[in-house]
Amino acid sequence: MSSDSSSLQSTAVINEAVQSLREGRLVAFPTETVYGLGADAKNPEAIKKVFLAKGRPADHPLIIHVAAPDKFDQAQVGWVPVLSPWVRDISEDALKLMNAFWPGPLTLVFRKDKSVPLEATGGQETVAIRAPAHPLTQELLRKFKGGIVGPSANRFGKVSPTSAADVRSEFEGMLDLMVLDGGDCQVGIESTIVDLSSSDHPTLLRPGIITPGEILEKTGIKIFLPGEIIPAEGGVDIPRVSGSLRAHYAPTTPLRLYAPGRVLDALSEFPDIKSRVAVAVWDSDSALGEDGHPSVHFEEVLVPSDSVGFAGKLYRTLRDLDQQGWDLILLPEPPPGEEWDGVRDRLQRACFGSGPSSSNHANS
């Protein structure tokens, strides 16, 4: 297929997706982080369909995705007109962060404009916004001329999808879902979330691939952790954000982490599970061997030992292993260092939520 005819095809597909969104239907779309389940961010009825499809609690806020402005030959990109329909005020810090990291895997939380439906914000007076970097979704957003809410396109609490096939298998039998196929997601874990709504201290609400260290280096802005902020008198609550519940991103197979060289210790936690265990090992390490455990059938799965590579493969690995019928999945504990914090956060929530009964405590 020539590039001309493929771009014509993608234009037709995007026009169809825009029409679906305008009619209040759902469209799954690719981003650089994970696939999103999209609806018109100004349509409360469409937003409710997202919650219903996912089985997501109504007080769990959504991120609104916006188009990056066309750059032309401006030195400064004009983010203010993009944000003004959604947010009440835009600080200098916000502009610096947007100019440094948008479009990209950074979500910013603002005080919301009164026109933003409370359905999108989980009933809060704050709104989370990002401009995704995926070219297909940027084109969709530009043609839609509006914001699109887009939590990960999976059932609530389960492993996030990083391909169009993941989305289709997640919602099989839901006839009214259009899936835009933008290939495999490159970043592989959800965006970093920084709160700019409540104080002079930008606060990290969810770690991701963009770290506080990188933000400081590129913008001079210090990002605080929630525990470092002392609330003012009559203090402001930290906004609830996506992916902040204790159980999340979870496979149906029990998942545990093991410390370096401690695979056996991790196994001894599961006296009944002694048959088929998938053990992920760093690609820089030597093989485990059978570890002298006659009753266990191990299979080794190599995972990247750099944080960016590991993040990119994390959900793909969890999904694939989940579908292979193992009794237990063991992953190595991520090493210390803030570049691993995003991955560590996802793994801890995935472990807590994993196992066949995970639906029971997905809301705890």
What are the tens digits of pLDDT across the range 232-244? Answer: 555 557 888 887 7
CATH number of the domain that residue 171 is part of:
3.90.870.10
Q: Are residues 320 and 276 in the same domain?
A: yes
Of the three residues 212, 228, 244, the one that is the final residue of a domain is 228
Residue 283 domain boundaries: 255-361
Q: Are residues 15 and 107 in the same domain?
A: yes
Question: Does residue 188 form part of some domain?
Answer: yes
Q: Are residues 216 and 311 in the same domain?
A: no
Q: Tell me: pLDDT of 249 over 90.
A: no
Question: Does residue 282 form part of some domain?
Answer: yes
pLDDT score of 362: 39
Q: Are residues 39 and 151 in the same domain?
A: yes
Question: Of the segments 69-83, 212-226, 273-287, 296-310, which one has the largest average pLDDT value?
Answer: 212-226
Q: By the 8 A CB rule, do 330 and 262 touch? A: no
Q: Are residues 165 and 201 in the same domain?
A: yes
Nearest alpha-carbon partner for 307 in 285, 331, 334, 281: 334
Q: Are residues 136 and 178 in the same domain?
A: yes
Q: Are residues 64 and 183 in the same domain?
A: yes
What is the C-alpha separation between 216 and 235, in angstroms, rounded? Answer: 26
Write down the pTM of the prediction.
0.91
Q: By the 8 A CB rule, do 65 and 38 touch? A: yes
pLDDT score of 295: 60
Q: Tell me: pLDDT of 96 over 50.
A: yes
Top pLDDT among 13 and 172 is at 13
Least confident stretch, 53-57, 72-76, 347-351:
72-76
Query: 129 pairs with which residues across the strands?
Result: 64, 108
Q: By the 8 A CB rule, do 333 and 279 touch? A: no
Q: Are residues 96 and 159 in the same domain?
A: yes
Query: What confidence tier does 260 reach under pLDDT thresholds 50, 70, 90?
Result: confident
pLDDT score of 297: 78
Q: Are residues 164 and 23 in the same domain?
A: yes
Question: Does residue 66 form part of some domain?
Answer: yes
Of the three residues 210, 228, 246, the one that is the final residue of a domain is 228
Question: Does residue 242 form part of some domain?
Answer: no
Q: Are residues 167 and 288 in the same domain?
A: no
Question: Does residue 30 form part of some domain?
Answer: yes
Average pLDDT over every residue of 148-170: 95
pLDDT score of 364: 33
Amino acid at site 57:
P
Condensed to tens digits (0 to 9), the pLDDT of residues 264-292 reads 777 777 666 557 899 999 988 765 655 55
Q: Tell me: pLDDT of 168 over 60.
A: yes
Indicate the number of domains in the chain: 2
- 157 dihedral zone (left: phi>0; alpha: psi -120 to 50; beta): left
Question: Does residue 94 form part of some domain?
Answer: yes
Q: Are residues 27 and 114 in the same domain?
A: yes
Query: What confidence tier does 70 reach under pLDDT thresholds 50, 70, 90?
Result: confident
Least confident stretch, 61-65, 127-131, 198-202:
198-202
Question: Does residue 237 form part of some domain?
Answer: no
Q: By the 8 A CB rule, do 230 and 326 touch? A: no
Question: Does residue 153 form part of some domain?
Answer: yes
> How is residue 242 written in tokens?
């996506």
What is the C-alpha separation between 348 and 248, in angstroms, rounded? Answer: 9
Q: Which helix (H) or strand (E) holds 95?
A: helix 92-101
Nearest alpha-carbon partner for 254 in 331, 152, 328: 328
Query: What confidence tier does 1 reach under pLDDT thresholds 50, 70, 90?
Result: very low
Q: Are residues 208 and 285 in the same domain?
A: no
